[in-house]
Chains A and B, each alone.
Chain A
Amino acid sequence: MAATKTRTSSFSRNLPAASSAQSPEIKCGPNGTFFVSSGIPDLDKTLGGGIPLGSLVMVMEDSEAPHHMLLLRNFMSQGLVHKQPLLYASPSKDPRGFLGTLPSPSSPKDDKSRSHDAEQEKGLRIAWQYKKYFDNKQDFSNEFDLRRPLDRHFYTTQHVDCISTHDLPNLAPLQERCTSFLSHFPRSDSNIVCTGRIAIQSLCAPQCENSSMEWEMLSFIRALKSTVRSANAVAIITFPSSLVSPSFCKRWQHLADCLVSVKAIPDEDKELAKLLTGYQDIVGFLNIHKVSRINTQVPAVLEATTLSIKLQKRRYLVLECLNQAPIDGSGGTSYGTSGSCSGSSSKSGSLNF
């Protein structure tokens, strides 16, 4: 992955070096960018360290599965755990109710999946002055336990704003709220004081009146993208891609800095069980189509663009590369996804970048 090599060239920015040490939620990235965690450690690793500040992440939902909610929940919880202000918009009439379903960070004693770290520590005795580096590393990104709800004090005491897009006649109120929210995080050369997160769920949901205003939504996304880029914030928008007309869907995809899509998988499918190991634990697929590249023209070439979504012990969200048997190797580009899961009506969601 490109981010593992840090190249020092003569064109490096003068960064305030102290910023990385003071706040664990921000990590320094290449090319003068800072990373924020997505809430899923595996996804952070695949994306090259996290989500760069100032990027717009778009998630293409599959109308047959709620996996985008897993991504949203982890993203929002991570922000709340790090005390980052959050703006949440959803098509339900009571968005605040959703906050009660956010997962809580898992405590280390339950977390057997990270047991290999514990084993390392048994053999090593780490000098006391270096322990702080280990602690910092853990805090950037947490593992979340989907079965334990987040403590209420996380979202009642701090700045969490919720909007319902259900009854909005157009998107102007949403745009105003986003702009005023982002004005609290201006980008400047001094240290980053705080960062904000915006999460917009199901932007084009059919029950909203504004869902047929495609040009308006497009201009809203464009405005949001430019405002986020000049602020110390990250925005995530999920949208059901099958409900947007194809030309607009392509436009939205191009507007995204980071584009992922989630897919449902058929249940009890013998073919898939033969092709994939661990099929029983997989609940869906995550495809990464685009990775944010800010301040650079070098494209990111990922090791794997399709990850499987697993729920370990039904609690922890884990993304893994697919272990599959080699199959008929005709065609297939590195960024292409072939048809979608809705086989009978042959809607193909193929993307070719």
Chain B
Amino acid sequence: MADSICRTIRDGALEGEHAPSLTIKDTTASPYGFGVFTHVLSQASTLILAGKSQSRGLVVVAYSRSPSFYLDFLKRSGVDVASSQKWIHILDCYTDPLGWKHQLADSGILPSNSSAGACLFQDVKDINKLQSLILELGSGLVGQGKVRFSVAIDSVTEMLRHVPLSKVAALISDLRSHDQISSIFWLLHSDIHDVRVTTSLEYLSSMVASVESLNQSSDGLSGDLGNLSLLEQNFRRGKFHVRFKRRNGRVRVMNEQFHMEESGIKFTSVTVEDGLVSQGLVPKVLFNLELSEKEKLERARVVLPFEHQGNGKPIQIYDGRRSLAPESMGEVSADTSQSSTEECSNGGGEIIYFRDSDDERPDSDEDPDDDLDI
């Protein structure tokens, strides 16, 4: 649930442990990961400003949106941005990531302009520089001591365009084990990458939130164009699935539904849980002591070949040549009589059956071995 995520981020890291880290992932079928990211961002900002969270500052590494977008968004969400220099720093990797504009400005082609309230970063391929800048900005916000700050990475997908996976993973794991980092969260578009990238980032995170579409088909067009309005409605909704890794090694799985609106994203809880996960974990045992309902019904319906059915009808002896359907049994019982020696329409074969248990004389003291002549 989104609240639990925000609470975990608020609580932050314990001494000697890795900081909690969140991966938000989405796909083109349900591209609302950014909505979740901004939701978490605004929640974290509110908590930082109110002083309720462990972290006292926030560094946003912005790849896919400009810093002014974030400031506007926070203002719209009711967060006080007037004092923003005190608690938030936005590292601008959006305006000029590779330094081209800077080069063009140097040669006089483009006018140079600088954005206020953000730190321009022009060298995204240098991950060490990025890391030291993040730490510098963070400690600039919170000071050197034991106070911690949080880091939000706008889009790890963008980061991976410039830097190989092992370096990104190294950055994240270094940040997680740093003393001054309280929590870290990032967004990933999982269908763009190899499975390996997604699993590596999930390996490094303590919470994985995935945004999925309501209908399972890979594209929204399931061929039923008549239902277009329903499809469109459903497109703005989706499933929000979170996996928390707890300290004791168990995994907490939570499901919610979300609804994307003008003002942002709204979460509602979902009551249906599926218990299919557990079936795969426990090894299947090869015997079954219980009958399902269907099996019980079937058992009751089996016609025992040589015994009465317990329903008051005379004993019918099934000689294997008649059908087992109940209505034809009814007819057959009318035809055949008690003694099976009467000729039947099927041609004269008969079965004479004596139960073995009828042979037993209950109080016999005879020792069957007495019959042997030795």
Contacts and interface: CB of A to CB of B under 8 A. Distances in A.
B245 to A, nearest CB: 5
Contacts of A348: 280
A285 B278 CA distance: 12
A337 interface: yes
Given A209-B166, A326-B287, A332-B286, A338 B280 contact: yes
A267 B196 CA distance: 26
B277 interface: yes
Interface in B273-294: 275-290
B254 to A, nearest CB: 10
Interface residues of B, number: 46
B202 interface: yes
Given A272-B281, A343-B277, A206 B203 contact: yes
Contact of B253 (A67, A263, A331, A343): A343
B248 interface: yes
Nearest to A276: B282
Interface string A158-173: 0000000010000000
B165 to A, nearest CB: 6
A64 B245 contact: yes
Contacts of A205: 169, 203
A322 interface: yes
A283 interface: yes
A63 interface: yes
Given A206-B203, A305-B283, A267 B251 contact: yes
B245 A65 contact: yes
Contact of A271 (B166, B279, B285): B279
A269 to B, nearest CB: 5
A307 to B, nearest CB: 11
A343 B291 CA distance: 28
Interface in A267-299: 267-272, 275-276, 283-285
A245 B201 CA distance: 15
By secondary structure, the B interface counts as: mixed
Nearest to A340: B280
Interface in B316-350: none
Contact of B282 (A65, A166, A324, A330): A324
B362 interface: no
Nearest to B200: A206
Contacts of A336: 283
A65 B283 contact: no
Contacts of B283: 305-306, 322, 332, 336-338
Nearest to B274: A343
A342 interface: yes
B282 A322 contact: yes
Contacts of B173: 91, 207
B284 A331 contact: yes
B146 interface: no
B252 interface: yes
Nearest to B165: A206
A329 B241 contact: no
B278 A272 contact: yes
A211 interface: yes
A327 B286 CA distance: 8
Interface string A71-108: 00000000000000000000110000000000000000
Contact of A67 (B174, B196, B249, B252): B249
Interface string B225-267: 0000000000000000101111011111100000000000000
A211 B166 CA distance: 7
A269 B278 contact: yes
B199 interface: yes
Interface in A334-353: 336-345, 347-348
A240 B284 contact: no
B278 A65 contact: no
B275 A207 contact: no
A66 interface: yes
B284 A328 contact: yes
A245 B177 CA distance: 27
Contacts of A64: 243, 245, 251
24 contacts: A64-B245, A64-B251, A207-B204, A208-B166, A209-B166, A266-B251, A266-B252, A266-B277, A267-B250, A267-B253, A269-B277, A272-B278, A272-B282, A283-B250, A306-B282, A326-B288, A326-B289, A330-B284, A332-B283, A332-B284, A338-B280, A338-B281, A344-B243, A345-B198
Interface of A: 63-67, 91-92, 166, 205-209, 211-212, 240, 242-243, 245, 263-272, 275-276, 283-285, 305-306, 309, 311, 322, 324, 326-332, 336-345, 347-348
Top 10 closest A-B pairs, CB basis?
Answer: A332-B284, A339-B280, A206-B200, A271-B275, A206-B169, A65-B249, A267-B250, A343-B277, A63-B203, A271-B278
Given A64-B243, A309-B249, 17 more contacts: A65-B251, A92-B177, A205-B169, A205-B203, A206-B201, A207-B169, A208-B166, A243-B200, A271-B275, A275-B282, A284-B249, A327-B285, A331-B284, A332-B284, A332-B285, A343-B280, A345-B210
